[in-house]
């Protein structure tokens, strides 16, 4: 229940006011452990000192005293046979007995190569900022990506084998007016959303309105610099868009709803998973029903809501991943999303995932059943009303990529052609 209490979300800061440029570089600390700058990367350092010219000449030659940095990494080969998959997930063949018949050499998705090519590109871009490099853990976070189809039913499935990080985002004033923010980087939005059903206020709306007032008050000051004013105006526009979205839509809640996260680039692939698609998460001897509920960065794979993470490992938190090894299988059913989206219905989720799993050969164990852990609202509750009128947030980085509104329907995770929402 502590996770369901309304915790204040930390305020994202705008770019600070620029300081005067220093006339010389700041002094290095007296002791610097350069190994700490490398995020999980083995460092092999050597010194090469061949004979040169006299000291005065070499001191003035910038090529005489340099550090050459080269990062070497190996891109992995994807698992593609049932034996290779079972090597890291021994129970997988028993839990999904029809999986073996779907595995063929051509089932490896081109998204696997794209994922690691993107990771390498980001390493090149970040090489001058050692503290921002992907860690070894996050570079090797995906064992395989397979695009499968059952030979008899022709049901398609998208398989990821990875670790499990935690997504604790999302808010829904209709179901949980007290809020559930549980991490310093918490966002009250998820890519999966639907029109509000009641007049209850989103618990994070007040915070956003207070943040907007602070930005507007600072922007109105005559002493603000042009650079700071530019940042403030951009921040004001973004916060206004977020306020409009919080007044109009509800979202999944990471602490209470079972959903998984996929990279945004996957949702743009022709046969890739989309927001709202049904899925199952396989770990140990359990199969957990879920949906694709949020979109993450393009260079990381393997993330589930805090609700799933706590079920897999009760020590999981927003800061503590439940599974570090690449032993989690995410099986997504492309094209299975309900339309339009709507509030979670766990019984419908259970039945829909069971039906989809049956189309690929069935499951060796009963699927996990999710209970609704959100406390009931006091009665009487406000009757459903139309969403408050707000300015259309088109053209903003946040709202331009959110799905368009459409009427809600009583489906499990019941807006057409959903697309990822950018992090506010």
Q: Which domain holds residue 227?
A: 1-19+81-424
Residue 388: per-residue pLDDT:
38
Look at strands 286-296 and 142-149 and give their pairing.
unpaired
Task: Identify the residue whose tokens are 């061949």.
Answer: 50
Sign of the dihedral through C-alpha 73, 79, 80, 84: positive
Residue 278 placed within a domain:
yes
3-class secondary-structure state, position 180: coil
Residue 233 placed within a domain:
yes
For the record, the structure tokens of 113 come out as 């190569």
Residue 9: per-residue pLDDT:
43
User: Are 326 and 161 spatial neighbours (Cβ–Cβ below 8 Å)?
Assistant: yes
CA distances from 303 to 162, 164, 233, 423 (A): 9, 5, 33, 16
Query: What's the first-to-final CA gap in the chain, in angstroms?
Result: 27
> How far is it, in rounded angstroms, from Cα 40 to Cα 324?
14
User: Which secondary-structure segment (H or E) carries 133?
Assistant: none
Task: Identify the residue whose tokens are 């879920």.
Answer: 290
Task: Identify the residue whose tokens are 């998959």.
Answer: 85
User: Are 346 and 374 spatial neighbours (Cβ–Cβ below 8 Å)?
Assistant: no
Residue 200: per-residue pLDDT:
93
Task: Identify the residue whose tokens are 């999303």.
Answer: 337
Residue 33: per-residue pLDDT:
61
> How far is it, in rounded angstroms, from Cα 211 to Cα 236?
9
Nearest CA among 138, 143, 142 for reference residue 85: 143
pLDDT in tens, 1-33: 444 444 444 444 454 444 444 444 455 455 556
Q: For residue 216, count other CB atoms closer than 10 A to its CB.
A: 15
> How far is it, in rounded angstroms, from Cα 141 to Cα 326?
7
Which alpha helices (DSSP H) does 179-297 contain, by range? 205-219, 226-248, 264-267
Residue 63 placed within a domain:
no
Residue 64 placed within a domain:
no
Residue 74 placed within a domain:
no
Residue 409: per-residue pLDDT:
34
User: Are 261 and 246 spatial neighbours (Cβ–Cβ below 8 Å)?
Assistant: no
User: What total number of domains does the chain contain?
Assistant: 1
Residue 30 placed within a domain:
no
SS (H, E, C) 266-284: HHCCCCCCCCCCEEEEEEC
> How many residues belong to the chain?
424
- Could you tell me the pTM of the whole model? 0.78
> How far is it, in rounded angstroms, from Cα 251 to Cα 402?
12
Residue 70: per-residue pLDDT:
81
CA distances from 41 to 35, 71, 119, 123, 419 (A): 8, 9, 15, 12, 35
Residue 412: per-residue pLDDT:
46
Residue 22: per-residue pLDDT:
46
pLDDT in tens, 33-91: 655 556 667 777 778 888 989 888 888 988 888 887 788 888 999 999 999 999 999 99
Residue 44 placed within a domain:
no
Residue 220 placed within a domain:
yes
CA distances from 343 to 140, 176, 253, 275, 323 (A): 35, 12, 10, 14, 28
Residues of the chain with pLDDT under 50: 1-13, 15-25, 28, 383-424
């Amino acid at each position: 229940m502590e996770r369901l209490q309304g915790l204040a979300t930390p305020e994202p800061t705008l770019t600070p006011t620029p300081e005067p440029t220093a006339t010389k570089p700041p002094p290095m600390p007296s002791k610097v452990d350069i190994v700490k700058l490398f995020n999980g990367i083995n460092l092999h350092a050597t010194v090469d000192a061949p004979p040169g010219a006299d000291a005065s000449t070499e001191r003035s030659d910038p090529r005489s005293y340099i550090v050459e940095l080269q990062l070497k990494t190996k891109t992995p080969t994807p698992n593609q046979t049932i034996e290779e998959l079972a090597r890291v997930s021994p129970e997988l063949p028993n839990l999904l007995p029809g999986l073996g018949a779907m595995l063929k050499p051509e089932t490896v998705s081109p998204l696997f190569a794209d994922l690691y090519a993107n990771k390498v590109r980001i390493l090149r871009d970040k090489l001058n900022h050692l503290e921002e490099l992907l860690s070894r853990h996050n570079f090797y976070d995906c064992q395989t990506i397979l695009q499968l189809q059952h030979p008899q039913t022709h049901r398609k499935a998208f398989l990821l084998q990875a670790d499990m990080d935690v997504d604790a985002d999302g808010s829904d004033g209709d179901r949980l007016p007290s809020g559930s923010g549980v991490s310093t980087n918490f966002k009250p939005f998820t890519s999966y959303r639907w029109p509000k059903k009641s007049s209850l206020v989103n618990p994070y709306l007040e915070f956003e309105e207070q943040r907007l007032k602070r930005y507007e008050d600072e922007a109105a000051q005559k002493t603000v610099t042009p650079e700071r004013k530019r940042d403030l105006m951009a921040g004001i526009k973004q916060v206004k868009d977020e306020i409009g979205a919080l007044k109009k839509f509800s979202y999944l809640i990471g602490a209470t709803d079972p959903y998984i996260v996929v990279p945004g680039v996957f949702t743009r692939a022709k046969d890739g998973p989309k927001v709202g698609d049904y899925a199952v998460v396989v770990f140990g001897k359990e199969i957990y029903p879920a949906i694709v509920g949020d979109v993450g960065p393009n260079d990381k794979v393997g993330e589930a809501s805090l609700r799933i993470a706590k079920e897999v490992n009760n020590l999981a938190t927003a800061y503590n991943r439940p599974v570090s090894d690449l032993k989690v299988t995410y099986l997504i059913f492309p094209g299975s999303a309900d339309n339009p989206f709507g509030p979670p219905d766990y019984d419908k989720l259970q039945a829909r995932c069971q039906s989809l799993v049956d189309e690929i050969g069935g499951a060796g164990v009963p699927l996990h059943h999710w209970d609704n852990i959100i406390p009931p609202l006091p009665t009487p509750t406000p009757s459903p009303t139309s969403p408050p009128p707000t300015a259309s947030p088109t053209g903003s980085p946040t709202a331009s990529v959110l799905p368009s509104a459409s009427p809600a329907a009583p489906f499990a995770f019941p807006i057409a052609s959903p697309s990822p929402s950018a992090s506010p």
